[in-house]
Amino acid sequence: MRIARSEHRTPDGPEARVVVAGPDGWNDVRVVERLRLERRGATPAAAALLATALVPGSLARGLDLGDEFGEALERAAEDSSGDAAVEPARFLVPVDPPAYRDFMAFEQHFVDAGRRFGHTAPDVLYELPVSYMGSVQAFVGPDDEIPWPSYSERMDYELELGIVVGRGGRDIRPDSARQHVLGLTILNDFSARDIQSREMAGNLGPSKGKHFASSAGPCIVTLDELEVEALAMSARVNGETWSSGTSGTMLWSIAELVAWASAGEVLASGTLLGSGTVGGGCGLELDRFLSPGDVVELEVAGIGALRNRLGERRAGGWFPEPRPRQRQAAEVG
Amino acid sequence: MRIARSEHRTPDGPEARVVVAGPDGWNDVRVVERLRLERRGATPAAAALLATALVPGSLARGLDLGDEFGEALERAAEDSSGDAAVEPARFLVPVDPPAYRDFMAFEQHFVDAGRRFGHTAPDVLYELPVSYMGSVQAFVGPDDEIPWPSYSERMDYELELGIVVGRGGRDIRPDSARQHVLGLTILNDFSARDIQSREMAGNLGPSKGKHFASSAGPCIVTLDELEVEALAMSARVNGETWSSGTSGTMLWSIAELVAWASAGEVLASGTLLGSGTVGGGCGLELDRFLSPGDVVELEVAGIGALRNRLGERRAGGWFPEPRPRQRQAAEVG
């Protein structure tokens, strides 16, 4: 199944709709449900009200409804009536995640990128899947412009798989973890390398190096339709191929990433887990960086292509003033 | 103004209500609004519907409504009628944040705690307020039990101020940042020190060292009622004082933390910003750690006390199996 979100205009401004690829094109899931309820005797107004509650514009809030929502997605995937057919003018980020956590599961990336930052790969990266939480407010979708923050000169992309959690849980074990996964999408974990390397010297984060924007899309494809261990992944900048790799080189399986993300904590439905950058999947590893106006296109076989253009660097942002060390001075004196 | 959330029982299970301290005790903000709407000619059912939309159980979604919600809080703070008076049986975490970001603004903590982890305080901690994103799913409230994850033996508390963003924004400047702050609460950033020190060697996060639980509460106090630069802060474990400090030792002001959090990115209404641990405000700095059943009570003058008991350590969680290094071997060979 292929799941996406499209934007529609309304008198109250743009509205997100969940759409699913049917036998003959995209179907609007809420329309499929509204018409089904009408066939079961609901008045049009009552059917619209219940269909809106069952299929909200937020994919994450829909997933919170469990099987009831899952079956609505399946009905839309099978609907060949044409009654709910839509031709989306614009796709949105397919999920609005309540949490975004990015792993670092590709050895080639963390060895080679670490070297650029002057580090050797630490042992822990081979002992457990290390991750950080990113900003859910940062997400933009296909063809959205990437805002270039005033505090950075060195902009980069990162070619990743996005794992969308369909059913939340806690202490999920690897052998049942795939049942908690809705599917995969493409994730571009845009990175401001200059501020990132500065702040990561503080042993926290990264934060400002990432939060200005992350993109995901164009759709989510369920695991049964993908050869998960052998997905070809590539990145093009202004049409030139900069990166190519495969999902087969991950140190940890998708099931292990989901299990570890849920160990001892709540993993919410709709959470987006990043795989980490595929080997060679960013400019840092190539010593090439992006410029304003560049178009970055990430492609993953079986999912599609995610394209974003970099905006102009913003001017005039506030930046903190350094503080003097006090504690060390006191100890020396 | 003092703002909290209380739990009420309903036929559909527990429900969160936003409450505000009035002249004679806590007032239920939704009830104040419902009665106001009725006085303006609304039917009881219509008044209840609109009051529920204006004052949801989620403080963050209320704050999203801007001035309309802010004025409802103010009316509840002034209401001495007794018509909306409540005596909460249980307080919840006062805000359900859409984002949680923890700074490290107290020099004494990062110098002394860093030394325990074997680090000298890096320069960047004096150059800008470094932070990481935590888990919003981790939050529990006053008197909630802290689940002790199976993968940790070394449990600690962290005594922090929680800054609640009232009005979101982007590129907020320090001179207007206080207008974006709803108020302060008490934050306990519970920490599993063993897994934290392991995963932080990977230069990301922390993640598993923090996400099992964070607590905040018991209420939010607006800045006009607090002497923000001189708040006495203390921590007691089973009644014994382990930590005492003051907010006056922060390297960065609250306004600067808010400004930097919003630089080049969206700061959402309801976001919780942690100040970082006050100097001496955790067991790591004292080489003392918590045991199952311990009661940790954090107190901040003018706000109150936040108490939590540690649960029993859980058994039998899944833990990843180490992977062999491949990339380095290939290079050497």
What are the pLDDT digits (tens) for B147-171? 999 999 999 999 999 999 999 999 9
CB-CB neighbors (< 8 A) of A122 in chain B: 201-203
Residue B218, H or E segment: strand B214-221
Greatest CA separation for chain B? 84
Q: How far apart are CA B239 and CA A242, in angstroms?
A: 60
Q: Is the pLDDT of residue B330 over 70?
A: no
Confidence category of residue A195, pLDDT binned at 50, 70, 90: very high
CB-CB neighbors (< 8 A) of A326 in chain B: 107
Q: How far apart are CA A247 and CA B118, in angstroms?
A: 36
Q: How far apart are CA A267 and CA A165, in angstroms?
A: 8
pLDDT at B190: 98
Q: Is the pLDDT of residue A329 over 70?
A: no
Contact call for A127 and B322, based on CB within 8 A: yes
CB-CB neighbors (< 8 A) of A107 in chain B: 325-327
pLDDT at A181: 98
Mean of pLDDT values over B225-230: 96
Cβ count within 10 A of residue A57: 18
Residue B191, H or E segment: strand B191-192
Residue B80, phi then psi, degrees to nearest 5: -110, 15
Q: Is the pLDDT of residue A169 over 60?
A: yes
CB-CB neighbors (< 8 A) of B190 in chain A: none
Confidence category of residue B328, pLDDT binned at 50, 70, 90: low
pLDDT in tens, B228-263: 999 999 999 999 999 999 999 999 999 999 999 999
pLDDT at B293: 98
Percent of chain B clearing pLDDT 70 (strictly above): 98
To the nearest whole Å, the CA of B76 is away from the closest chain A CA by 31
Confidence category of residue A333, pLDDT binned at 50, 70, 90: very low
CB-CB neighbors (< 8 A) of B327 in chain A: 107-108, 111-112, 121
Contact call for A121 and B324, based on CB within 8 A: no
**Number of A–B residue contacts, CB under 8 Å:** 208
Mean of pLDDT values over A59-70: 98
For the whole model, what pTM was predicted? 0.97
Contact call for B201 and A151, based on CB within 8 A: no
CB-CB neighbors (< 8 A) of A324 in chain B: 126
Residue A45, H or E segment: helix A44-54
To the nearest whole Å, the CA of A154 is away from the closest chain B CA by 15
Cβ count within 10 A of residue A59: 29
CB-CB neighbors (< 8 A) of B263 in chain A: 149-151, 208, 317-319
Print burial letters for A92-116: b (CB count within 10 Å at least 16), e (below 16).
bbbbbbbbbbbbbbbbbbbbbbbee
In single-letter form, the type of residue at position A10 comes to T
Considering only alpha carbons, which residue of chain A is nearest residue B174? A318
Mutation choice for A interface testing from B204, B250, B254 by most A CBs within 10 A: B204
Contact call for A328 and B268, based on CB within 8 A: no
Contact call for B207 and A99, based on CB within 8 A: no
Contact call for B132 and A132, based on CB within 8 A: yes
What distances in angstroms separate CA B148 from CA A115, B211, B310, B314, one per listed residue?
Answer: 36, 11, 7, 6
Considering only alpha carbons, which residue of chain A is nearest residue B106? A327
Mutation choice for A interface testing from B104, B197, B318, B326 by most A CBs within 10 A: B318
Confidence category of residue A328, pLDDT binned at 50, 70, 90: low
8-state DSSP, B322: P
Partner-chain residue, chosen from B137, B200, B263, that has the shortest CB–CB distance to A99? B137
Q: Is the pLDDT of residue A330 over 60?
A: no
To the nearest whole Å, the CA of A284 is away from the closest chain B CA by 17
Q: Is the pLDDT of residue B331 over 90?
A: no
Percent of chain B clearing pLDDT 90 (strictly above): 93
Contact call for A264 and B119, based on CB within 8 A: no
Q: How far apart are CA A254 and CA A47, in angstroms?
A: 38
Domain B100-313: CATH superfamily, name plus number: Fumarylacetoacetase-like, C-terminal domain (3.90.850.10)
Contact call for B265 and A130, based on CB within 8 A: no
Residue A85, phi then psi, degrees to nearest 5: -65, 140
Considering only alpha carbons, which residue of chain B is nearest residue A212? B265
Contact call for B138 and A324, based on CB within 8 A: no
CB-CB neighbors (< 8 A) of A130 in chain B: 199, 202, 204-205, 207
CB-CB neighbors (< 8 A) of A322 in chain B: 126-127
pLDDT in tens, A269-282: 999 999 999 999 99
Contact call for A327 and B107, based on CB within 8 A: yes
pLDDT in tens, B182-205: 999 999 999 999 999 999 899 899
Considering only alpha carbons, which residue of chain A is nearest residue B105? A323
Confidence category of residue A332, pLDDT binned at 50, 70, 90: very low
Contact call for B98 and A137, based on CB within 8 A: yes
More confident residue, B330 or B126: B126
Tokens of B118: 């074997």
Cα A110 → chain centroid = 19
Q: Is the pLDDT of residue B333 over 60?
A: no
Contact call for A129 and B320, based on CB within 8 A: yes
Considering only alpha carbons, which residue of chain B is nearest residue A197? B124
Tokens of A75: 């009905």
Mean of pLDDT values over B101-125: 91
Mean of pLDDT values over A78-92: 97
CB-CB neighbors (< 8 A) of B324 in chain A: 126
Cα A318 → chain centroid = 29
Q: Is the pLDDT of residue B7 over 80?
A: yes
Residue A145, H or E segment: strand A145-148
Q: What is the mean pLDDT of chain B?
A: 95
pLDDT in tens, B131-147: 999 999 999 999 999 99
To the nearest whole Å, the CA of A108 is away from the closest chain B CA by 6
pLDDT at A113: 86
Range(s) of chain A covered by CATH 3.90.850.10? 100-313
Partner-chain residue, chosen from B119, B251, B318, that has the shortest CB–CB distance to A259? B318
pLDDT at B332: 36
CB-CB neighbors (< 8 A) of B280 in chain A: none
pLDDT at B21: 98
Contact call for A325 and B121, based on CB within 8 A: yes
> Which of A86, A84, A131 lies closest to A104 in space, CA to CA?
A131
Contact call for B203 and A200, based on CB within 8 A: yes
Q: How far apart are CA B205 and CA A234, in angstroms?
A: 27
Confidence category of residue A1, pLDDT binned at 50, 70, 90: very high
For B190, counting Cβ atoms within 10 Å of its Cβ (0-12 exposed, 13-18 middle, 19+ buried), the class is: buried
Q: How far apart are CA A263 and CA B157, in angstroms?
A: 20
Mean of pLDDT values over B275-303: 97
